[in-house]
Amino acid sequence: MATWIIAYNQNGNTSMIKIKSEHRPDLDEAIDLVTQKAEREYEELDFDPDPNEEQTPALLLVERFGITVTGIARC
């Protein structure tokens, strides 16, 4: 089983999550894992979703916590 690092950026700081998996996590899996961590460990920002904008998981992560996933790498 391989170890994977999911890197993400919040407020100019890069952080990471390490996971073990047989396969490389895709972007949707990475966003889900980072969102779960953010919901446990970070405060939500004040935001008002734009009803005219599609609310994808990646966009919600940015709007709710100011976090963007920046990479997925095997270590």
Domain positions in the chain are: 2-45+53-74
Dihedral angle, C-alpha 32, 22, 5, 75, nearest 10 °:
-170
pTM of the model: 0.90
Confidence of residue 70 (pLDDT cuts 50, 70, 90): very high
Q: How confident is the model at residue 49 (pLDDT cuts 50, 70, 90)?
A: confident
pLDDT tens sequence across 2-46: 999 999 999 999 999 999 999 999 999 999 999 999 999 999 998
Q: For residues 74 and 30, give the distance between their C-alpha atoms in angstroms, rounded to a whole number.
A: 13
Helices (runs of H) and strands (runs of E) counted in the chain: 2, 3
